[in-house]
């Protein structure tokens, strides 16, 4: 056994925070991996689908097939930045390794970026624990590498993945367990939850764009054959929280992330490659749900994402049956994906019953991107205690309406265009943006916990679909916020 892997497992068991998933006990059998030079695959399957992880690449998914679609592998592994794998982002920017290692110039802007497969220089991440339970469950843990470094910089964290198959669905429970020596609370960064890369036959990107989610409205094809679209990746907003990549027959894989409505996706490199190619070819389809998160130096953060194999209707039906209403946030043991701008910060992880904030003048508290109808939520309720030097606090509530721009994306209009200015004009005329709505409320800030009920009905432009909330503070102070809710 390589000493590094053995030492990593010892560290893993010594730190209480680095225990297995709740369903896995410390006395469960442990299988060691000696980083073999040849691919070592571990598979789970049922009558319909088959999933395989590569234990020499941190347990990244390199195989996924559907018997209904011929049983061909859908996952692209042209390089180690692809696959279906975990990747997380935080500061500093750039991230310098513990021995002064500099990131590669082309990746310097990524900052701290542990990735499940390995780094940009071909150094593999290390699988330190894995277990297969029956035919349909895999659990694994790895030490990821810093992707931007080509010199083998291991990350001060562990990744854990629990994959469970049921019918045509894979439930993926993914965790990052940090133990960083740098204790700085860096700003929230976009997190891929996770990144999905398919082979060339699965090129057609489909989702729902609109302000009437789950009412049977038509879907939108963002990337199709011979449309000059796909690369660079498009960024889009979908209130149904799913997207799918399908082939010419209409079969493929969809991604449903119930906490996320911002996605990236597309096809690389261009039209002539759509519909063909294998797992080692450069052409690839891509989907990634993207949510912002603060990753504290000691955090354990878990998200659950579903991969659904089949048709677009299969993916959408699953999303409808499993959707979540994301307009009530209780900060019992989590930030619930809220984050800060303008110098505000909190007491750090673990979150213990409240967001214990310190804020400056013009600092802000920002919600995750979500969706609600104004008519169904006339009140914004903030429960908690605010403290300022004079006992009062003006809070500017900023609400972002759904707009025509959410029906498309800039890249979907500009790719391949001979006249970008004309495309920009068309988008502006046909898909206009809406400015945020702002209204100021005065709160009692005497340090005592209260339910602050802020009526939104007096704001004339508060109508239709809404996407997010942002709270600006007019002076320095502190807050212990236990709940935020949009409702009646």
Same domain, 143 and 60: yes
Other beta carbons within 10 angstroms of residue 456's beta carbon come to 18
Give the pLDDT of residue 428: 73
Q: Rg of the chain's alpha carbons, rounded to an integer? A: 23
Give the pLDDT of residue 420: 65
CB contact set of 399 (below 8 Å; sequence gap of 6+) = 436, 437, 438, 456, 459, 462, 466, 468, 469, 470
CA distance 310 to 167: 11
Give the pLDDT of residue 411: 76
Same domain, 166 and 119: yes
Give the pLDDT of residue 37: 47
CATH code of 341's domain: 2.60.120.260
Same domain, 333 and 454: yes
Same domain, 315 and 439: no
Same domain, 151 and 239: yes
Same domain, 308 and 431: no
> How many domains does the chain fold into?
2
CB contact set of 276 (below 8 Å; sequence gap of 6+) = 200, 201, 283
Per-residue pLDDT tens digits of the chain, which is 488 residues long: 233 333 333 333 333 333 333 333 333 433 444 444 456 899 999 999 999 999 999 999 999 999 999 999 999 999 989 999 999 999 999 999 999 999 999 999 999 999 999 999 999 999 999 999 889 999 999 999 999 999 999 999 999 999 999 999 999 999 999 999 999 999 999 999 999 999 999 999 999 999 999 999 999 999 999 999 999 999 999 999 999 999 999 999 999 999 999 999 999 999 999 999 999 999 999 999 999 999 999 999 999 999 999 999 999 999 999 999 899 999 999 999 999 999 999 999 999 999 999 999 999 999 999 999 999 999 999 999 999 999 999 999 999 999 999 998 877 777 755 566 776 677 777 888 899 999 999 999 999 999 999 999 989 899 999 999 999 999 999 999 999 999 99
Which of 294, 322, 350 is at the close of a domain?
322
Which of 293, 322, 351 is at the close of a domain?
322
CATH code of 165's domain: 2.70.98
Same domain, 379 and 397: yes
Domain that holds residue 418: 328-487
Give the pLDDT of residue 29: 38
The Cα angle at residue 134 between residues 132 and 135, in degrees rounded to 5:
95
DSSP class of residue 464?
S
Give the pLDDT of residue 8: 37
Same domain, 417 and 301: no
Give the pLDDT of residue 408: 87
Contact 49, 140 (CB under 8 A): no
Same domain, 273 and 131: yes
Which of 322, 340, 365 is at the close of a domain?
322
Q: Is 106 helix (H, G, I), strand (E, B) or coil?
A: helix
pTM over 0.85: yes
Residue showing tokens 């940090």: 178
Residue showing tokens 């991969």: 307
Same domain, 386 and 469: yes
Give the pLDDT of residue 4: 30
Same domain, 351 and 276: no
**Residue 483 phi, psi (nearest 5):** -160, 145
Same domain, 205 and 70: yes
Q: HEC profile for 142-203?
A: EECEECCCCCCCECCEEEEEEEEEECCEEEEEEEEEECCCCCCCCCCEEEEEEEEEECCCCC
């Amino acid at each position: 056994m390589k000493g590094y892997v053995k030492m990593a497992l010892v560290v893993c068991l010594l730190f209480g925070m680095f225990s297995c998933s709740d369903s896995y006990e410390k006395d469960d059998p442990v299988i060691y991996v000696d980083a073999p030079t040849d691919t070592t695959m571990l598979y789970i399957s049922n009558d319909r689908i088959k999933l395989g992880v590569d234990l020499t690449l941190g347990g990244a998914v390199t195989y996924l097939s559907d018997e209904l679609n011929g049983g061909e592998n859908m996952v692209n592994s042209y390089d180690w930045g692809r696959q279906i794998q975990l990747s997380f982002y935080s500061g500093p920017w750039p991230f310098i390794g513990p021995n002064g290692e500099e990131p590669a110039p082309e990746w310097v802007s990524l900052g701290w970026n542990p990735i499940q497969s390995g780094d940009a220089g071909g150094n593999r991440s290390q699988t330190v624990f894995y277990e297969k339970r029956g035919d349909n469950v895999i659990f694994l843990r790895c030490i990821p590498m810093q992707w931007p470094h080509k010199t083998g910089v291991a990350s001060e964290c562990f990744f854990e993945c629990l994959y469970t198959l049921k019918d045509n669905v894979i439930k993926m429970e993914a965790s990052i367990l940090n133990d960083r020596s740098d204790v700085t609370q860096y700003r929230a960064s976009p997190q891929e939850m996770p990144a999905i890369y398919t082979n060339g036959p699965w090129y057609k990107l489909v989702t729902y764009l609109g302000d009437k989610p789950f009412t049977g409205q038509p879907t939108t094809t963002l990337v199709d054959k011979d449309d000059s679209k796909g690369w660079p990746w498009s960024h889009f907003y979908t209130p149904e929280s799913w997207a799918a990549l399908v082939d010419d027959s209409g079969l493929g894989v969809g991604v449903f992330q119930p906490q996320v409505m911002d996605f990236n996706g597309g096809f690389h490199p261009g039209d002539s490659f759509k519909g063909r190619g294998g797992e080692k070819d450069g052409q690839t389809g891509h989907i990634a749900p993207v949510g912002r998160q603060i990753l504290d130096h000691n955090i354990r953060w878990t998200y659950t994402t579903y991969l659904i194999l089949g048709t677009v209707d299969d993916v959408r039906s699953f999303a409808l049956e499993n959707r979540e209403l994301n307009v009530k946030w209780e900060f019992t043991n989590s930030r619930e994906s809220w984050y800060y701008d303008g110098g505000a910060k909190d007491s750090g992880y673990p979150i213990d019953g409240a967001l214990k904030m310190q804020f400056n003048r013009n600092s802000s508290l920002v919600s995750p991107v979500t969706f609600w109808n104004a008519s169904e939520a006339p009140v914004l309720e903030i429960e908690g205690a605010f403290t300022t030097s004079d006992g009062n606090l003006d809070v500017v509530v900023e609400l972002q309406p759904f707009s025509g721009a959410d029906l498309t994306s800039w890249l979907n209009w500009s790719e391949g265009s001979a006249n970008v200015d004309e495309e920009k004009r068309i988008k502006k005329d046909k898909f206009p943006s809406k400015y945020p709505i702002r209204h100021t409320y005065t709160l009692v800030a005497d340090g005592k916990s209260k339910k602050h009920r802020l009526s939104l009905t007096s704001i004339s432009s508060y109508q239709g679909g809404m996407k997010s909330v942002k709270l600006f503070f007019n002076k320095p102070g502190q807050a212990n916020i236990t709940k935020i809710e949009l409702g009646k």
